[in-house]
């Protein structure tokens, strides 16, 4: 494996960052400084350090993307732009996939990984992983509407589990659900004779957007997910 790719997979930074770091003589291979970011290394046996700190090649990787509107949650699609196009060019996307999905017109937190076990735990209905959305509605939401959502509303094909609603303004709420049915939040709004005008997922399990900017990618670790 090329040193450059190894350092990317260790979360050191972008390819541009890595060229600068290696050029400054901060990387050593088996105790010897190298200025060649294209050098071939053996990731299983060579000792690679950055600023004298040993680096570990990451077989399993985890990232949060702040998804923006206009992209479908798919790895490939011939007709529509996909979320893969939002990922930075320096990222090695081989075997990476999104965990769950967000609609084309929905923004917010999307988890990427190559860890199938984590994908299963985060998406299987039995696990009841919570998802929190910021929702703007076309019409004000009533106290009765909130009670219907919190009691478990019937969306026609499914009776939803009880949701948690925090009202911000008359037509702006935080909605927390424990399922991920197709268009579920939109169907829940339709069930109370309303319509979603803006939707953003702000939390997925224990993961949050924090101060991320739209389109930004952030590396995280398995213990950040805390299943």
Per-residue pLDDT of the chain (227 residues; tens, 9 = 90+): 899 988 987 878 778 888 999 999 999 999 999 999 999 999 888 999 999 988 887 889 999 999 999 999 999 998 999 999 999 887 878 789 999 999 999 999 999 999 999 999 999 988 999 999 999 999 999 999 999 999 999 999 899 999 999 999 999 999 999 998 889 999 999 999 999 999 999 999 999 998 899 999 998 989 999 76
For residue 137, the SS3 value is strand
Domain with CATH 3.30.70.580 in the chain: 62-124+207-225
Q: Which CATH superfamily groups domain 3-54?
A: RNA-binding S4 domain (3.10.290.10)
d(CA 198, CA 169) in angstroms, rounded, equals 14
Domain with CATH 3.30.70.1560 in the chain: 130-204
Alpha helix positions (H), the chain: 3-9, 15-23, 116-123, 143-151, 184-191, 222-225
pLDDT of residue 93: 85
pLDDT of residue 199: 98
pLDDT of residue 227: 62
Q: What digits encode the pLDDT tens for the residues 170-224?
A: 999 999 999 988 899 999 999 999 999 999 999 999 999 988 999 999 989 899 9
The DSSP 8-state label assigned to residue 186 in this structure reads H
d(CA 109, CA 107) in angstroms, rounded, equals 7
Q: What is the CATH number of domain 62-124+207-225?
A: 3.30.70.580
Cut 0.85: pTM above it: no
For residue 21, the SS3 value is helix
Q: Which CATH superfamily groups domain 130-204?
A: Alpha-L RNA-binding motif (3.30.70.1560)
Contact criterion met (CB below 8 Å) for 146 and 165? yes
pLDDT of residue 43: 85
Domain with CATH 3.10.290.10 in the chain: 3-54
Contact criterion met (CB below 8 Å) for 190 and 183? no
Residues designated as active site: 103
d(CA 18, CA 172) in angstroms, rounded, equals 43
């Amino acid at each position: 494996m090329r040193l450059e790719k190894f350092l990317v997979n260790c979360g050191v930074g972008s390819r541009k960052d890595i060229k600068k770091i290696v050029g400054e003589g901060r990387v050593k291979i088996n105790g010897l400084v190298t200025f060649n970011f294209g050098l071939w290394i053996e990731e299983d046996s060579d000792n690679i350090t950055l600023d004298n700190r040993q680096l570990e090649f990451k077989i399993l990787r985890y990232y949060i993307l702040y998804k923006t509107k206009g992209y479908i949650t798919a790895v490939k699609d011939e007709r529509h732009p996909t979320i893969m196009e939002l990922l930075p060019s320096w990222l090695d996307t081989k075997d990476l996939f999104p965990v769950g999905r967000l609609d084309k017109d929905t923004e917010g937190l999307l988890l990427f990984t190559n860890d199938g076990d984590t994908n299963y735990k985060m998406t299987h209905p039995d696990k009841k992983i919570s998802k929190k959305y910021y929702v703007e509605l076309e019409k004000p939401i009533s106290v009765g509407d909130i009670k219907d959502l919190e009691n478990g509303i019937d969306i026609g094909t499914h009776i939803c589990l009880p949701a948690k609603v925090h009202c911000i303004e008359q037509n702006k709420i935080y909605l927390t659900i424990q399922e991920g049915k197709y268009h579920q939040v939109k169907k829940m709004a339709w069930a109370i004779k309303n319509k979603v005008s803006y939707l953003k997922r702000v939390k997925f399990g224990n993961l949050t957007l924090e101060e991320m900017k739209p389109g930004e990618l952030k590396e995280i670790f398995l213990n950040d997910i805390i299943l």
